[in-house]
Amino acid sequence: MLFNIGPGEFLGLAIIAMILVGPERLPKVAVEAAKILKKLRDLAHVATVELKENLGPGFENLEPQDLHPKTFIKKQLADLMEDKPVTTPKNLQARIDPDLL
C-alpha cells in the first residue's frame, strides 16, 4: 500500500479532494500532484546516487533502506564492533616498551 493508506482511507481522501478542489479542477490538480511526485522521486534518486559516490569505496552496494541514518549508523557500528584481530604496525611495535604496560 502507498504510505500505509488502505482503500477506505484512499477513497475518503479522494472525496475530500473532490469537495475542496471541485470536480472540474480535480484532473488538473491530480496532474500537477503527479508531476511534483515525479520530481521528488527523481530528486531522491539523484541524492542517493550522489551520496553513494561521495561515501567512497566500500559503500557501492548500499540499498535505499540502508541509507536511512539510523540503519546506516547501526550497520557501521556493528561492523566496527566485530571481533577483528588488532594488528600494530611494525614501526609502532618497536616504540612500545613492555615494561611500561
- Work out the average pLDDT over 20-45: 90
Q: 19-23: which pairs have CB atoms within 8 A and are 24 or more residues apart?
A: none
pLDDT band of residue 90 (cuts 50, 70, 90) is: low
- Work out the average pLDDT over 32-46: 91
Record the pTM: 0.48
pLDDT band of residue 1 (cuts 50, 70, 90) is: very low
Degrees to nearest 5, angle at CA 29 with 23 and 41: 145
Cα(36)–Cα(22) distance, rounded to whole angstroms? 20
